[in-house]
Amino acid sequence: MKIFVDTAQIEEIRKVKEWGILDGITTNPTLLSKTGKPWKEAAMEILKEVSDKPVSLEVIATDFEGMVKEAKELAKMGDNVVIKIPFTVEGTKAIKALVSEGIKVNVTLVFSPLQALIAAKAGATYVSPFIGRLDDISHDGISMLEEIIQIYDVYGFETEIIAASIRHVDHVRRCALLGVDIATIPFKVIQQMFKHPLTDIGLTKFLEDAKKANISII
């Protein structure tokens, strides 16, 4: 499972990169607004930091022509730019147009298997089902994801599935068990994935015993 970080905060991106587990970045207007920087400056900083990994940047226009125009501007910002297009009828038209020009597209705000089916048929590079936001309204985000995976497997779609709107570590565990291609995870949740109290207790004990036994390796 590839790990994308769902953030526009450059410090968070740098940390996950240092840890050696970063496969890509997803942003959205909300995440970019949280940086407190002009959006273009924040986006350029990310694109340069991870120039060899996909970085999703989202369009603001909602009509076909506007989306295509904005997507082409965003695509000029770097070879690693992936255009985030909201799942709508106009968006679907834009997916086809952009992909045919070699521009990678991540279809966002997907909340049902049928939306994911349409996105794949339109040729989307990635599709982003939002798990947490479905759970928030008492639906089952993981079941939606499971059905999307099943549909894509049955028809052999090449669109990669990015499990998005991840809220906690158990979402990540369940995504991994389902064999999802990618999970885009908030920084805080990635930090939590490292933690287990028995690891901390075990390490403390080993270090105490190393001291007792005068173990000094170098």
Catalytically active residues, by annotation: 84
- Residue 28 CB, shortest distance to ligand E4P, in Å, is 4
- Rounded Cα distance, 106 and 90, in Å: 14
Q: Amino acid letter at 42? A: A
Give min distance, CB of 68 to ligand E4P, in A: 20
Closest CB to ligand E4P among 80 and 209? 80
Structure tokens belonging to residue 41 = 């400056």
What does the block give as tokens for 135? 């759970």
Beta-carbon contacts of 64 under 8 Å, excluding residues fewer than 6 positions away, are 90, 93, 94, 97
Residue 81 · residue 57 · CB < 8 Å: yes
Cα gap 154→151, rounded to integer Å:
5
Residue 115 or 184 with smaller CB distance to ligand E4P: 184
> What's the min distance (Å) between Cβ of 154 and ligand E4P?
25
Whole-number minimum distance, CB 78 to ligand E4P, in Å?
18
Return residues touching ligand E4P (CB under 6 A).
6, 26, 28, 108, 128, 130, 132-133, 164-165, 184
Q: Where are the alpha helices (DSSP H) in the chain?
A: 10-18, 29-33, 39-49, 64-75, 89-100, 113-121, 131-136, 141-155, 169-178, 187-193, 197-212
Residue nearer to ligand E4P on the CB measure, 54 or 113: 54
The answer to whether residues 5 and 14 touch, using CB atoms and an 8 Å cutoff, is: no
Residue 92 or 106 with smaller CB distance to ligand E4P:
106
